[in-house]
Structure formats: structure tokens, C-alpha cells
Amino acid sequence: MKILIPIKRVNDYNVKVRPNQTNTDVDLNNVKMAMNPFCEIAVEEAIRLKEAGKADEIVVVTIGDDKHQEQLRTALALGADRAILVKTEQNLQPLSVAKVLVKVFEKESPNLVIMGKVGIDGDHNQTGQMFAAMTGLPQATFASELNLNGGSVEVTREIDGGLETLSAPLPAVVTTDLRLNEPRYASLPNIMKAKRKPLEELSVDDLGVEISNNVETISVELPPERQEGVKVESVDALIDKLKNEAKVI
């Protein structure tokens, strides 16, 4: 059983990002970068499956420049066995990312692909679904529970009406939600061991993928500041303001 985990390098979720001076993109100069939180959940789930004896090998992959090695090494320190860096200087959109991952999938032939449901930077929620469509694999998105049963995967997902349980034959694609698990921290010995684990470098050209970005970012702006609220001294005063000032009742 081999599990493939695509991961993404994003700004640390604790950092408040701002637009650059031209309002054409987010300013990431001197901003702390980290592994996408949903990708951390995917890595953790794969490690738990391996610890339970249900998986033999965990391979992580990311797309980007040499700086992305840091996030791959983090995944290796957490418990992944191998890493693949598909090198490119371009900032790829979800469709191009999915095309690259299809080639990696064909190269590695994993039994299960687990990825975060969304990147906290672009907030697209598209790559997993596009990848599944291109490979023809069954998909189960927004997983809050995952179990392997022989040649199938059983996924529980949260929906508006409660919980939905899906079963899909392997190989399959699963995207992770927040409540699937709580990722662990890498220990210092494992961080040192991760430096000796194999990290393979490929290029987009090596995989024969043509990249084209079809979506243009017109402007990046901060949301408008919320106006300061007011306190009222009674329910009658609240009703009066809702009726006469806000005019919502």
C-alpha cells in the first residue's frame, strides 16, 4: 500500500498578509511560510495508516522552487518516507497543478491519494476534484473520518444535513477536512533523520506538462474595516435602533 500526499507551501496561518504596493498580489516578502494546514492533516492521516499497518510507504510531492524543500523535509520529519519536488518558478493555478499531479500519479502508481481540501492562500478548493476527474479515480471530499477496508476506502464527510459515509474502491482520491485528525509535531531526532531521507527533483518539462494560467488576478485588496459597534442599555433601545436606524425590522 503506497500513499501519495500532495502538499502546498503557503504563508503561515498565524501571519496577517497584506497586498503589495501595486495591489496585484499578496506581499510575501519576509513572511513566514509553512505547510498548508489541510496538507498537514493529510500527512498525519497517512502516518496513522502506516502506524496501524495499513500502509507501507508514504510519498509526498510539491511543486515550486528550491524553497519548497523546507516543507517536504517537514513532511519527512513527521514520518513520510520519500519526497518529490517538481521544480518550476511559475505560480501554478489549480488546473496546472492537477495536470502535474496526474503525471506524478502515473509515475508512482499509489493505491491512495490524500490531499488537503483547500489551500489557505488561494482558497480554490479545486485541485483534488480536477485531479480525480483527469485520472478517472473515485473521490471522497471533505473527509472527517477515513478507514481502509481491504481494497476500498470508507470516508465519512460532514454535509449540511449531518454525516455522509461513502465507500470507494482503491485507488481513490480523498481530500481532508479539519476534523479528520490533529497533526503531530516533528521531534528533533526525526528532523535530523529527515535530512537523510530521499528527495527527488523533477521539472515540469521532465513530466511533459504544458502549463498555462487561464485566470488573471485583477486586484488584491484588504476587506473594508468594520465600523465600531454601539452598546444599548435596554432591549427597547435595541429594538428602536434596529427599526429606525438599521431598518431591518
pLDDT digits 0-9 by tens, 151-204:
999 999 988 889 999 999 999 999 999 999 999 999 999 999 999 999 999 999
Binning pLDDT at 50, 70 and 90, where does residue 122 land? confident
Best mean pLDDT range from 25-39, 44-58, 225-239: 44-58
Residue 173 φ/ψ, nearest 5 degrees = -115, 130
Q: Is the pTM of the predicted complex or chain greater than 0.85? A: yes
pLDDT for residue 37 is more than 90: yes
CB 16 within 8 A of CB 50: no
Mean pLDDT of 131-147: 96
Question: Can you give the pLDDT at residue 76?
Answer: 97
Question: Can you give the pLDDT at residue 30?
Answer: 86
Residue 72 φ/ψ, nearest 5 degrees = -65, -45
Nearest Cα residue to 61 out of 106, 28, 1:
106
Which stretches of 170-206 are assigned E, i.e. beta strand?
172-176, 199-203
Give me the domains of the chain, ranges plus CATH numbers.
2-244 (3.40.50.620)
Pairing label, strands 162-169, 152-159? antiparallel
